[in-house]
Structure 1
């Protein structure tokens, strides 16, 4: 990496778009992005970003405005994302696996002025209000869509330089494509800059090749995507994960860095030809978003060259923990120690810090914290905790304990969120859909272990008196109304739901029933 880029990253705050400008000037012909269809050099990326930024500004977008992108990962997607940032416009990357109704609500919640799509998502977005201009990343002009090339400013024009501060919205992440009320996490430029600064520890540089098969709408991907860009490496984008194709690309392109969720590691390690691929170029592998078993970590360490680092944190930010598994093979059951600059504490139900060695809810503070939930100040306040000095922390809802060496072990979730394939699923959303059926009186959804996905949703349903419906028919009815990642894999009828004295459903008992039934 050049001295000027190093000096910029060393600053307390800077902009990703400025680093791209530096790389384009100093290494114009080096590759910045590639996918299965095309590639962009740094010079080409810089020009494309100017065209996108100018196009947005000519369309009247200013700092504080936003665009939405709902598409498969591609070079075009990445360049539009970065071009919007150069204009000071926030990006709301949306999950194509969401339902059309959910996507409509997210577009409205983000206040998106423009909507970028491709062939894989155009039909899904039919319920989004028609007055929002649509731009086709793939060049399509069907159904009133404007081709990307027609939405760009002429090459050579320079955008105005916006005033961007650490709290200026960088992106709005919807951490689950839910069917309920959307909750957008507004991440500021300062939060992303904090992620970039820690990248120096992991060997990112001009020779880095980062292979990403997780989607660009996921914070999981972005915590590796942006450091690679900032340090001048090449990002290789896979629109869809396939274990065999991933391994072939990793070998052929001499990949050095990657981010994968646990289920992907599991599929790669179990691939029959895994040990036949040359993966010796790897320097750093990352994992986050879901429980990562100690046994799987050990297998990766034993058979896959390069370091293995697990990040523990939330899309909302706050404190995070990092486990460099290759340096601490005796701590694979933990999620590591608090990252540099992170203040991670544990609190009890009353909001008081617990004594050393006791368990409690994880709360964290760092430079990388969300500004708040978009347009939902009450939800933002619910996610916050303040210590006696007034220092702001973000609550995780996870229950954990520090060991004597300062490593954090997770053993329960205060919230009942289900993590399937690295994606968050909220049971209340599925329960609401179930209750919409005319035959359903009540319902509760819990997560059950899955060898393939980590967890999947299972539903317990109480029918109305005299109502009748087949189990499979109700399951299909629900799954037709939720996103792909939310589909229920098991449905059980029950006479009543177990409840506590104050009426709370005892979900642990429901999980125990499923465990007993399968044993």
Structure 2
């Protein structure tokens, strides 16, 4: 890789003390992170799940048994194993067990629509699936296992013994909690929890740095469903870069909060790999909930919290209202969407710590830029390139040509964290991976004279709500099939600290009446909950280009100008 200095390197002068310009990439497999932590900190709590704790030594032993269970199920090096799980100890165990065998983890959202999960399973062809009991209808609809070996995870099995006993009580509250955590298990589905306890420990072949480690599902820069292929080297590089960036963290002494979903690139890297590299204790929450988080803070206070702006906003407001103590949190990294400066200021006021934005995409494992964790941080910007990361700003129509300094252009990224391509999609990969290892982000940015990058626009018309990526074409495909809808364009409009609000602009058939409630009801089961429109507007027609393409940007401008007509 050409590392010659260029005009985009000015930001390195603002690195926090101790942050290097370059890192030495750990040329081992991801499983080495857990091996190291178990050897160096065997008695340290690795996971805290609603009060149940697991040490690093115990976690490593459970991973070895889980690897034995998967090996007995026929998993070999290079095989894909699908995980359809919320955040829980079993997710961590399964993740490292799959990698221990040299196999590939395929992550899935356990709350996604069944059709989406089924399409993803078909795309990568996993023959073994580990799924939460309540996600089994997504994996084996109507009890059809599809020829796969399916393991069911019981979330209550990871709870403290006292909590499990309480769930057995014949009380309405216990029944509601039990129903929220457990679900029916079809015939032929095996128990993951019982299987791991009974399995023999194994240690499989160690993968090479360039071997495939993880598949993460995304719409990429086009919105077309695909799987991002991340290698062991990609993940190890980004974990090392993260450790360098947050240089104030001490190995073996920190407590991370795992509130970001592990199936998302941000949660996977910051929690499943970076936290283990640090020998940190992880407080694992099955979902983000203010009350649950504050209760955990009283039990095991956080020192480092990665999250998305709505998390920081809700926690800071709750802390102010209830007098909750968050002052143990020294560092926080916000990602997936823009961080409102007011939210950042409130967070720093209630914690006394620092919060900065990180920028990246699934294709970059995911973090590529960040604001320095120092007084030089600049809220509202994407920050400056991570160590061993280079950027360029180019003409979107001709990415070989850099734009003039200070002018807007498409951001390109190059570094050891940049992915190897989309799984089984060579043409899609070639469209975003340029010669020389440059990744096209699809984001229009400007770079100031100090080297700080600011987002100006998005080529890909991506909607970001609550930290989740929403692709307009996927929402449109679902809404367009609704009776009474002749045409539809989906756009995002500003929605405050939570990010964009999904708005469906509808053209109705003659005499049809369609309101927001009807659209939301229709989309249930067809779209992930975060992608369901929050507002509708009825238009006489949709603006189109000369080639007939809907001009979403014009739709958005029209809605912003006149205010969306709510139904």
So what's the TM-score if we normalise by structure 1? 0.91
Do 2:492 and 2:501's aligned partners in 1 also have CA atoms closer than 8 Å?
yes
Answering whether residue 453 of structure 2 is matched by residue 408 of structure 1, we say yes
Give per-residue Cα distances to partners, 1:214-266, cap 9 Å, x unaligned: 11111111221111101211111111111233133234312111111011111
Query: What is the rounded CA distance, in whole Å, between the counterparts of 1:62 and 1:336 in structure 2?
Result: 41
Task: Determine the structure 2 residue equivalent to 1:324.
Answer: 372
Change (3 A) 1:149 1:479: closer
Answering whether residue 297 of structure 2 is matched by residue 254 of structure 1, we say no
Answering whether residue 210 of structure 2 is matched by residue 167 of structure 1, we say yes
Answering whether residue 258 of structure 2 is matched by residue 212 of structure 1, we say yes
* Equivalent of residue 269 in structure 1, options 292, 295, 316: 316
Do 2:134 and 2:184's aligned partners in 1 also have CA atoms closer than 8 Å?
no
Do 2:413 and 2:440's aligned partners in 1 also have CA atoms closer than 8 Å?
yes
Do 2:127 and 2:149's aligned partners in 1 also have CA atoms closer than 8 Å?
yes
Deviation at 1:455, TM superposition (A): 1.1
Secondary structure of the structure 2 residue equivalent to 1:122:
helix
Deviation at 1:204, TM superposition (A): 4.5
Task: Determine the structure 2 residue equivalent to 1:363.
Answer: 412
Query: What is the rounded CA distance, in whole Å, between the counterparts of 2:386 and 2:491 in structure 1?
Result: 31
Task: Determine the structure 1 residue equivalent to 2:61.
Answer: 47
Deviation at 1:479, TM superposition (A): 4.0
Query: What is the rounded CA distance, in whole Å, between the counterparts of 1:228 and 1:495 in structure 2?
Result: 52
* Equivalent of residue 229 in structure 1, options 266, 271, 276: 276
Query: What is the rounded CA distance, in whole Å, between the counterparts of 2:497 and 2:382 in structure 1?
Result: 21
Secondary structure of the structure 1 residue equivalent to 2:127:
strand
Do 1:39 and 1:75's aligned partners in 2 also have CA atoms closer than 8 Å?
no
With CA pairs under 8 Å and 6+ residues apart, which has the higher RCO, 1 or 2? 2
**For residues 422-461 of structure 1, what are the structure 2 equivalents within 5 Å?**
422-451=467-496, 453-461=498-506
Task: Determine the structure 2 residue equivalent to 1:493.
Answer: 538
Change (3 A) 1:240 1:188: same
Answering whether residue 390 of structure 2 is matched by residue 346 of structure 1, we say no
* Equivalent of residue 383 in structure 1, options 428, 432, 446: 432
Do 2:25 and 2:236's aligned partners in 1 also have CA atoms closer than 8 Å?
no
Give per-residue Cα distances to partners, 1:441-478, cap 9 Å, x unaligned: 321110012236311211112234x3523224344323
Task: Determine the structure 1 residue equivalent to 2:192.
Answer: 148
Change (3 A) 1:507 1:289: same
* Equivalent of residue 137 in structure 1, options 145, 148, 153: 153
C-alpha RMSD over aligned residues: 2.5
Do 2:100 and 2:204's aligned partners in 1 also have CA atoms closer than 8 Å?
no
Deviation at 1:147, TM superposition (A): 0.8
Deviation at 1:108, TM superposition (A): 1.5
Change (3 A) 1:380 1:160: same
Task: Determine the structure 2 residue equivalent to 1:372.
Answer: 421
Between 1:23-32 and 1:252-261, the stretch displaced more is: 23-32
Secondary structure of the structure 2 residue equivalent to 1:415:
coil
So what's the TM-score if we normalise by structure 2? 0.83
* Equivalent of residue 109 in structure 1, options 116, 123, 132: 123
Secondary structure of the structure 2 residue equivalent to 1:316:
helix
Query: What is the rounded CA distance, in whole Å, between the counterparts of 2:393 and 2:238 in structure 1?
Result: 23
